[in-house]
Every structure is written in structure tokens, then in C-alpha cells.
A and B are shown apart, each in its own frame.
Chain A
Amino acid sequence: MNIQMMLATARRVLEQLRHDHRSIALILAVPALLLTAVYYLFENEVLPPGAPRTFDRVGLMMLAIFPFVVMFLVTSITMLRERTSGTLERLLTTPIHKTDLLFGYGLAFSIMATLQSLVATAVAYWIFNLDIAGSPALVVMIAVINSVLGVALGLLCSAFARTEFQAVQFMPVVVVPQILLCGLFVARDQMNEVLESISNVLPLTFSVDALTEIAMNSEATGTMWNDAGIMVAIVLVVLVLASLTLRRRTS
């Protein structure tokens, strides 16, 4: 691990992104726009007095799910381009360590993800009056961890795709099951046993769990920290797995 090489990599990835104004706009604006759509979806719902709005539950989870999806896509395509353009092979003939490269990617995209979730969270709080007990800072934290999870899975999946077309196809495989089973559509304890046990080990489940804790409690709870810790551990394991897919010597 070499901090300078990692920082140089993060800088390079951000510089590549800086030239791509359209992608920056998409990264920053799309989650906020989708959140707006979610708000108006539930605009006319009729609530018994005192019941929480659906938006306060679904909108909150969206804050964590959007950055996960966006960063997964952005990373898997960027890394695939690195693999197919020959720059990865070239880099691996230099002294850079594989983890410098991967953590450099992780750092660059988590900076983007932080900006993204700040915009989305601000919109949720200030425009749509998202009403939860806990602190918005914790929501942003979970969103950022989630986006780094997206980065890590994107880096790993890029190893199994030959083309950008294939890379995009990994989204239904890796991302959609996690969204279906994380508790957003059906509470996890109401799933059948098979689905619930799959749900128990999917990373996104932990972030939805953590967000629920934040929504219910004004202070950070032990369960929330526990969930966040598990997520970070999963991210590290996935990054290590991704580094195993980088080969300096090929046939």
C-alpha cells in the first residue's frame, strides 16, 4: 500500500470524470429527481391520523439505494474500460500495488457519492420535509458506505465481463435481487424462509436495517453501528476479492 500512488489514482479518476460533464450532472441530479418522483407517487395517499407517510420510509431507503446503483454502474464500466484499453496491463508493469489502484478508485468514487447523497438528502429534508427521528448526517454516512459497496462490487464484476454490454447485464444479477429482498417492498420477516435467509446475507439488507434504526431513534444505536460495521467489512472483503482478479502476468 502506497498512499501517494493511491491518491494519484483517485486524482486521475476524478480528472477523467471532470471532463465528462454529462456524467457528473447525471450522478448529482438523477437521485434527487427520482426522489422527487417517489414523493409525488405517494402525494395523494390517505393516512390515518398520526401514521407516518410512506415517503418517510421509502424515500429514506431510496437515499441509500440510489448511490449504490449509480456507483455500481459507473465503476464497473470505468474499470472494464481500464481492463480492455491496455492501461490496466500497463499500470501493472509499474510499481503500483493492486490495492493502491482499487482503493484509489474507491476514494474517488466515494467523494462523488458523498456529493451525490448530500444533494439527495438535502432535497429530501428541505424540499420534501423527510420526517425521521435520527440525524441526517447518519443517513449520509450510510448512503456513502452503500455507494462504496457499489464501487467494490462494480470493480469485482468488471472482471467477469468482456464488453461494456456484458458489464451492464450484471446489474440485474447483482443489484436488483438486493433491492427486491432488502425489505423495501416486503418486510423481511414476512418473506418465506428461503428468501428471508438469502436476504439475511445480502449487503444492502444491512443498510436498510441501519436506516430503519436511524428513522426510529434520535440517537445512533448499537444495532446501527453494528450494521454499518458489517457493511464496511463486506466492502473490504469484496475489494480484496476484486484485487485477486487483477493479474500481472497473463497467458
Chain B
Amino acid sequence: MSHSTVLPPKPSSEAVEVRKLAVSRGGHQVLDDLNFGIPAGRITGLLGPSGSGKTTLMRAIVGVQKINAGSVQVLGRPAGHPSLRHHIGYVTQAPSVYPDLSVEANVRYFGAMHRKNRNDTLEAIAAVGLEKQSRQKTADLSGGQLSRVSLACALVAKPHLLVLDEPTVGLDPVLRAELWERFRKMADAGTTLLVSSHVMEEASHCASLLLLREGRLLAQLTPAELSRRGSSQDLERAFLNLILKPSLAAGLTGAGSGAETSEVRP
């Protein structure tokens, strides 16, 4: 198979490289001159206020967004390259599953697109803790369960790069902790994860953070650096401090454990 030539990126290399990316939608500049890299085999958090361009950026990385300028390289290929479709999982914010199918039928169908078998299907369902609901119609599930079905439909493909748009919205604290634990295990196994969130306390689960504001990259840094630069142990407070005083974010460099923090723009 020709697509097997896309190899999982080596740890310490970059799974995604974004250069001078600009996107406008409906005459409005949504992303402007973004430059950054996403470290392979780590969890990168994409944080920013509502409307800052998080979803558009994720769509550009997945390759479903038309871009106006710049380049997005994913696993060594231009974003959207056909060979990448075997290796990228994308979970949209609104659960995109078939409400009139059972949980298992949903996961099985998306698995079939990646030649996955029944075991892979059951494994993905177990990973999101929905074994008991496996034969239930998806429409009868709660909102939180629905978004976990959507996640399972991406996990079944065992992607090298998993892009998750607000995956923990509507989940109770126990499930949220379980999911972050699962993400960490996946990252340990070599999967690269990009997770957007507006819950700042979740930033602490990430190895690297991208702070986005009004379509521009405010900073790329580790949670520890965020805490230090924003002069607060409370990441939410620190983030607010950075947003209110962008000068604090300027000049951030890859200190701390984050060898992955490279080019940072004010």
C-alpha cells in the first residue's frame, strides 16, 4: 500500500509545521501569519478565547480548510494530502456521528474506512468507557456520551495525529480525568495530540501550549512557563494576565522542559 510510506514521526521531531499561515473566511481575517511547530508524541494544547480561530486552525491542519497564504506540513506532507487521510483523526466540537445507528455500528463504519476489524471497534468503544451502551442507538445517549462516541470513531483508526476540538466539554470531572489519562497514554505510545480547550486547568495536562488570540499566536510555551510569565499558579489567572498584557508574552523562549517551544511570535 502506497500510503504506508507515511511513517509516524520520530519523537522530538515535529509532527506539524505551520509557516506564515493566513486564513480568511467571509472577508474576515481569521488566522494571520501563524508560525509554529507541534512536537511529535506529545499533547499540545490549543488555548484561546472563543472566536480566536482555534477551530479554523485545526481544520487547516486536518486539511479541510482552504488557506490563503503560508503552508501547513503534517507528518512531512502538505496538509490534506491523500496519504495523510490514513493517519489523521479529527474530532469536531459538535459530535459528528449517525444518531440513528448504534454506538458499535458508528465506530465499526468509521473503522471500516481504515480497514479495522471488530476487535479494534470494541477496543475504541472500551477506551471511551461506553461498553455498556455499545448496542444502544446513539440518539438515546446523553450529550457527554455522544461526544465520546464521536471520539471513539476517531480512536478506532489509531491515527498518528489526533486533532480534538474541545473533547472534554460536557463531561463530568471523573470522565475528564480518565480521558486525559488516555490521551497521555496515547502520547506515550507515540501519538501526537492537538487538543483545544477553553478550560484553562486542562492546560496542565499538556506538554506544550499554543495561546491563540484574535487569529494570532500569542505564545507557545509550557504550562510551567505560562504560570511564570502570567505570574500566577492558577493557569486561568496566568492566561488572563497574558491576554491583558500581551507584552508579557513577548520574548518568551523555549525554557523549562519544553525543548519543543521554538519560534514564538508576539
Show the binding face of A for B, using Cβ within 8 Å.
4-5, 8-9, 11-12, 15-16, 19-20, 85-87, 89-96, 248-251
Cβ of A250 and Cβ of B66 under 8 Å apart?
A: yes
B114-141 interface code vs A (CB 8 A; 1 in, 0 out): 1100000000000000000000010000
Known: A19-B101, A87-B96, A95-B86. A248 touches B113 (CB 8 A): no
> A11–B104 Cα gap in the complex (Å)?
13
Residue of B nearest to A97 (CB): B82
Assuming the A-B contacts A89-B96, A249-B65, A250-B64, are A16 and B113 also in contact, with contact meaning beta carbons closer than 8 angstroms in the complex?
Answer: no
Q: Which residues of B contact A11 (CB under 8 A)?
A: 109
- Interface pair B90/A93, CB less than 8 Å apart: yes
Q: When the two chains form the complex, which single residue of A4, A248, A250 contacts B112, counting CB atoms closer than 8 Å?
A: A4
User: What residues of B have a CB within 8 angstroms of the CB of A91 in the complex?
Assistant: 110, 113
Contacting pair A90 B96 (CB below 8 A): yes
Q: Which residue of B lies closest to A96 (CB)?
A: B113
Complex Cα–Cα for A172 and B159 (A):
45
A94, B92: Cα distance in complex, Å: 14
For B66, the chain A residues whose CB sits under 8 A away are: 249-251
By the criterion CB–CB under 8 Å, are B115 and A4 in contact?
A: yes
Is B171's CB within 8 Å of the partner chain A? no
User: What is the 8 Å Cβ interface bit string for chain B, positions 71-92, against chain A (1 contact, 0 not)?
Assistant: 0000000001010011010101
- Min CB–CB distance A6 → chain B (angstroms): 10
Residue of A nearest to B64 (CB): A249
Shortest CB-to-CB span from A91 to chain B, Å, is 7
Q: Contacts A89-B92, A95-B86 given; indicate if A8 touches B113 (C-beta within 8 A).
A: yes
0 or 1 for each of B133-177: is its CB under 8 Å from A? (1 = yes): 000010000000000000001000100000000000000000000
CB closest chain-A residue, reference B60: A249
B80 touches A248 (CB 8 A): yes
Q: Is the CB of B109 within 8 A of A12?
A: yes
A-B contact pairs, 21 of them (CB 8 A): A4-B112, A8-B109, A11-B109, A12-B101, A12-B109, A15-B105, A19-B100, A86-B95, A87-B96, A90-B90, A90-B92, A90-B153, A91-B113, A93-B88, A94-B113, A94-B114, A95-B86, A95-B114, A249-B66, A250-B65, A251-B25
Q: Is B180 an interface residue (CB 8 A)?
A: no
Do A20 and B110 touch (CB < 8 A)? Answer: no
For A249, give its contact among B80, B88, B90, B101 (CB under 8 Å).
Answer: B80
Q: Does B3 contact A (CB under 8 A)?
A: yes
Query: In the bound complex, how far is the Cα of B179 from the Cα of A192, in angstroms?
Result: 69
B157 nearest CB neighbor, chain A only? A94
Residues of A within 8 A of B99 (CB): 85
Say if the beta carbon of B235 comes within 8 Å of chain A.
no
